[in-house]
């Protein structure tokens, strides 16, 4: 059965609606819909935004260029970076870092707040005892740490800064003149916004380039990302015509699936979700091949997606913290598909099956930290918070706002007693959930508190699930 080309006007209408909704919150949406080889339809196309983890596609392309020049991506990081000797990540490889297979945990929003850290500071951090949650190559675990180390590898191999490598090897050849890393180069950068629980807007703090720039430091525009997506589509057109080290061939290679993440399905479609090199290659029964990546950052959210079998690409930027750009694009695509199928009111309900993965045993201290963090909801103690919280916690939500939110949730659920270990389930060595009450309803539907820890076992998020 042929693939269905979604109705472009339905996509645009849905994006215009999303822009209006964000404007009501005080934010601004930038977006573009680009048919291959034709002029696109864009809004705020030349306004620079932080694109966050969409940056990883540029990092992967730069590593691909260095690989073509002799970098062995299967060599242990400890050999490429001898200063990593003795750390728990020294035996991992660039390939594992590229494909999210190092076994180190999901580490945002902590990683989003330490962009300006130096390479030496990162090495010192790792030497304090970074904790992997699983053996390498035993599953998928999104981790920024590996991409930060890829930046250090690029510098060691090329003998110049990571930013200079990306600029020379990727940005300049494609003419991406409105794409870069330093906020000082973008005086017209769209300001980022943090929205508090009462709907009030606060300016998001900006960070400068550093060792974590390879994970999410790029600033770009809708039109430049349109060119970036088009280069990927063009690269797939005639693979055999490119030399192995040519940039188009690298962009082709990066769109191949290396690690299965999950399967999404609805009554009307099935979609495999994978990770390649800095991109998520997918296969959608409605559209054929798909490649995409999201980005989330304090003050920003982004998503780019293209469809090689349809010759179509879409990008969305929002300027609120972790703006749900992926969901915005997905909903617009679903609406376009439904309109093309003659059922414009149809909404897809997805279910997801994630690939199971083994984890290392949980240490007692990790469980104790998760439980202590959850109990801050019952009785917030600044001394305990100071001991447990990593750097991002008070930056993401000031203490006064956090106390207010915790207190309201505690009252809503009529909580008075501290949680005990019986309520705790450790999902991984660095993530656990405390179930508030399951007496009157299934545990899966009961209110809960999820706590995630960073690589050193410090608290990076406390999420209240109602």
Would you say 163 and 171 are in contact if contact means Cβ atoms under 8 Å apart?
no
Which of 327, 358, 389 finishes a domain? Answer: 358
Tell whether 370 and 341 lie within a shared domain: no
Instruction: Please report the DSSP string for 229-256 in residue order.
Output: HHHHHHHTT-GGGS-TTSHHHHHHHHTS
DSSP-derived letter for residue 263 is E
DSSP string, 290-323: EEEEEEEETTEEEEEEEETTTTEEEEEEE-BTT-
Largest CA distance in the chain: 68
Whether 153 and 226 share a structural domain:
yes
The last residue of one of the domains, among 358, 391, 425, is 358
158 and 19 belong to one structural domain: yes
Calculated CA dihedral for residues 8, 11, 17, 21, nearest 10 degrees: -140
Same domain, 66 and 52: yes
Is residue 278 left, alpha or beta, with left meaning phi > 0 and alpha meaning psi from -120 to 50?
left
Q: Are residues 31 and 113 in the same domain?
A: yes
Strands 312-318 and 29-35: antiparallel
Neighbours of 70 (CB within 10 A): 8
Are 354 and 371 contained in the same domain?
Answer: no
Give the domain range for residue 310: 1-358
Same domain, 226 and 256: yes
Same domain, residue pair 161 and 46 = yes
Write b or e for each residue in 194-221: b if 16 or more Cβ atoms lie within 10 A of its Cβ, otherwise e: bbeeeeeeeebeebebbbbbbbbbbbbb
Structural tokens at position 424: 């705790």
Reduce the DSSP state of residue 222 to 3 states and report it: helix
412-444: burial string, b at 16+ Cβ within 10 Å, e else: eeebeeebeeebbebebbbbbbbbbeeeeeeee
Which of 303, 328, 358 is the C-terminal boundary of a domain?
A: 358
Shared domain check, 205 and 110: yes
Dihedral (C-alpha) 156, 158, 164, 168: value to the nearest 10 degrees?
-160
DSSP state of 76: B
Measured CA to CA, the distance from residue 108 to residue 79 in angstroms comes to 27
| Cα–Cα distance list, 455 to 69, 193, 248, 372 (Å) | 32, 28, 35, 18
CB atoms under 10 Å from CB of 384, counted, come to 15
Q: How many CA atoms lie within 13 A of 163 on its CB side?
A: 15
| 305 and 402, same domain (yes or no) | no
SS3 labels along 188-216: CCCCCEEECCCCCEEECCCCCCCCCHHHH
Question: How many domains does the chain divide into?
Answer: 2
Residue pair 11/336 in contact (Cβ under 8 Å)? The answer is yes
Alpha carbon 252 to its chain's center? 21
**Residue appearing with tokens 């939500």:** 397
Question: What is the SS3 assignment for 260?
Answer: strand
Read off the pTM: 0.96
Looking at residue 167, which CATH number applies to its domain? Answer: 3.40.710.10
Residue 450 has which token pair?
């999820």
The per-residue pLDDT string of the chain (466 residues; one tens digit each, 9 = 90 and over) reads 589 999 999 999 999 999 999 999 999 999 999 999 999 999 999 999 999 999 999 999 999 999 999 999 999 999 999 999 999 999 999 999 999 999 999 999 999 999 999 999 999 999 999 999 999 999 999 999 999 999 999 999 999 999 999 999 999 999 999 999 999 999 999 999 999 999 999 999 988 899 999 999 999 999 999 999 999 999 999 888 888 889 999 999 999 999 999 999 999 999 999 999 999 999 999 999 999 999 999 999 999 999 999 999 999 999 999 999 999 999 999 999 999 999 999 999 999 999 999 999 999 999 999 999 999 999 999 999 999 999 999 999 999 999 999 999 999 999 999 999 999 999 999 999 999 975 445 556 789 999 999 999 999 999 999 8
The pLDDT of residue 294 is 98
Together in a domain, 350 and 373? no
Do 253 and 309 fall within a single domain? yes
C-alpha–C-alpha distance, residues 15 and 408, integer Å: 34
């Amino acid at each position: 059965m042929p693939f269905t080309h979604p109705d472009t006007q339905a996509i645009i209408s849905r994006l215009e609606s999303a822009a209006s909704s964000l404007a009501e919150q005080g934010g601004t949406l930038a977006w573009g819909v680009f048919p291959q080889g034709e002029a696109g339809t864009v809004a705020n196309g030349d306004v620079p935004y932080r694109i966050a983890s969409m940056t990883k596609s540029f990092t992967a392309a730069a590593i691909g260029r260095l690989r073509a020049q002799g970098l062995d991506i299967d060599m242990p990081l400890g050999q490429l970076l001898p200063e990593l000797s003795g750390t728990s990540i020294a035996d991992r490889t660039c390939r594992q870092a590229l494909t999210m297979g190092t076994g180190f945990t999901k580490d945002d929003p902590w990683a989003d707040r330490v962009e300006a850290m130096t390479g030496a500071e990162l090495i010192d951090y790792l030497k304090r005892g970074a904790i992997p949650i699983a053996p390498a190559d035993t599953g998928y675990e999104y981790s920024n740490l590996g991409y930060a180390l890829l930046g250090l590898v690029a510098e060691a191999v090329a003998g110049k800064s990571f930013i200079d490598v990306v600029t020379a090897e990727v940005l300049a050849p494609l003419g991406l003149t409105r794409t870069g890393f330093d906020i000082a180069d973008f005086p017209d950068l769209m300001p980022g916004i943090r929205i508090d629980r009462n709907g009030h807007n606060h300016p998001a703090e900006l960070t400068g380039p550093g060792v974590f720039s390879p994970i999410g430091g790029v600033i770009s525009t809708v039109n430049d990302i349109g060119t970036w997506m088009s280069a990927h589509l063009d690269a797939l057109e005639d693979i055999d015509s490119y030399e192995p080290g040519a940039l188009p061939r690298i962009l082709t290679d990066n769109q191949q699936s290396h690690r299965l993440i999950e399967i999404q399905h609805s009554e009307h479609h099935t979609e495999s979700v994978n990770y390649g090199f800095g991109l998520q290659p997918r296969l959608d029964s409605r559209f054929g091949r798909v490649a995409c990546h999201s980005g989330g950052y304090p003050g920003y959210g982004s998503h780019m997606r293209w469809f090689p079998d349809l010759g179509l690409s879409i990008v969305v930027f929002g300027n609120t913290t972790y703006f749900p750009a992926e969901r915005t694009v997905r909903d617009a695509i679903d609406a376009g598909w439904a309109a093309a199928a003659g059922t414009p009111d149809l909404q897809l309900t997805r279910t997801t099956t994630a690939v199971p993965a083994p984890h290392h045993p949980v240490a007692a201290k990790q469980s104790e930290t998760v439980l202590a963090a959850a109990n801050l909801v019952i009785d917030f103690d600044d001394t305990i918070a100071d001991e447990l919280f990593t750097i991002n916690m008070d930056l993401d939500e000031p203490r006064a706002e956090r106390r207010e939110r915790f207190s309201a949730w505690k009252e809503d659920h009529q909580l008075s007693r501290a949680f005990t270990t019986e309520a705790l389930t450790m999902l991984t060595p660095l993530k656990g959930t405390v179930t508030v009450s399951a007496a009157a309803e299934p545990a899966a539907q009961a209110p809960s508190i999820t706590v995630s820890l960073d690589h050193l076992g410090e608290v990076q998020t406390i999420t209240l699930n109602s």
